Structure 1
Amino acid sequence: MARNRSLIHSSPPEVWRLLSDGHRYGEWVTGTQQILAVDPHWPDVGARLRVRVGAGPLALDDTCVVRVSEPGRRLQLEAKAGPFGAARIAMKLTPWGEHTLFTLDWHPLRGPGTRMHGLPVDYFVRVRNGMMLTKLARIAVCEHTAAV
């Protein structure tokens, strides 16, 4: 499992607003090329987000399904990437004073990732997820500052 944590200088409700807008995932999820479709009831359990992910001309359509949704506290997704299998992405928002301690856990569920799970893959995912948290924090802080 790859786990990242970041202290975001915005409140949990402010961070949750970003997570609950599926159309904005491309702003902070590293590797997202295009948002293809967002269920209108996102991020309720069972809602789907379809995205195109990749780098340059190499792209793959991916579907994220909400498995757990506790508004303002927790969001768990199952990301399905065709032949590459599926992964659980668990996000937890913990109040830290007026800020948010954001924890992101990634764990392969099916496919090649389960066999390659370990140091090299987890390191790569941890770096990617660190980049995502940096982007998420930057957006949340900018919007927090604009609202004050």
Structure 2
Amino acid sequence: MSLNVRAFHCPPAAVFEVLADGWLYPVWVVGASRMRDVDDAWPEAGAVLQHSVGAWPALLNDETVSLEWEPPHRMAMQAKGWPIGEARVVLDVKPRGNECVVRIQEQAQEGPGRWWMPRLVRELILYARNRETLQRLAFLAEGRWRNGERTIG
């Protein structure tokens, strides 16, 4: 399992505002390249994001399913990226004064990426990927909060 932690200069509500907007998924998730559809129920448990992974012309259509939605503390998703496989991704957010700390955990659950890639190599790749994912998420949440684009409680 890969684990990354980052301090964000915004309240937890700002992070969950970004997570709640399914159309922003490819902006903060490394590897997701475009959105095709977002369930009206997103981000409630069971709702689905239809996205593509990869780069043109080698795009693959896949989906991510919301498993848990507990703002402003936790979100869990089942991210699919076949033919590589599927992973469970959990974001935990803890307040720290007027700011917060975000932890992302990702664990390969199914598919060739789990079977043929040595665990240490897989975790190093996921660590680097999720470090960038948290940086992108921080840019969005902090920027929207700082610029007052939304009313964040």
| TM bracket (short chain) | over 0.9
1:76 aligned to 2:73?
no
Deviations 1:68-123 (A, max 9, x none): 11121111000122332211011111111111110000001111232225111111
- 8 Å CA contact retained: 1:108, 1:117: no
Aligned partner letter, 1:39:
D
CA distance in 1, matches of 2:123, 2:136: 20
Q: Which runs of 5+ in 1 are unaligned?
A: none
CA distance in 2, matches of 1:59, 1:128: 19
Q: Which runs of 5+ in 2 are unaligned?
A: none
Kindly report the root-mean-square deviation, in angstroms, between the aligned alpha carbons of the 2 structures.
1.5
Stretches of 4+ moved more than 3 A in 1? none
2:45 is aligned to 45
Shift of 1:55: 3.1
Shift of 1:9: 0.4
- 8 Å CA contact retained: 1:76, 1:88: yes
CA distance in 2, matches of 1:53, 1:145: 30
Aligned partner letter, 2:43:
P
CA distance in 2, matches of 1:79, 1:8: 23
Deviations 1:22-57 (A, max 9, x none): 011122111222101100110101000011111343
How is 1:1-148 mapped onto 2 (pairs within 5 angstroms)? 1-115=1-115, 116-147=117-148
With structure 2 as the length reference, what TM-score do the two structures score?
0.90
Shift of 1:136: 0.9
CA distance in 2, matches of 1:117, 1:29: 23
- 8 Å CA contact retained: 2:36, 2:50: yes
CA distance in 1, matches of 2:104, 2:62: 19
- 8 Å CA contact retained: 1:12, 1:72: yes
CA distance in 2, matches of 1:71, 1:141: 17
With structure 1 as the length reference, what TM-score do the two structures score?
0.93
CA distance in 1, matches of 2:118, 2:19: 27
Equivalent pairs counted in the alignment come to 148
SS at 1:41 equivalent: coil
SS at 1:10 equivalent: coil
CA distance in 2, matches of 1:109, 1:16: 25
Aligned partner letter, 2:58:
L
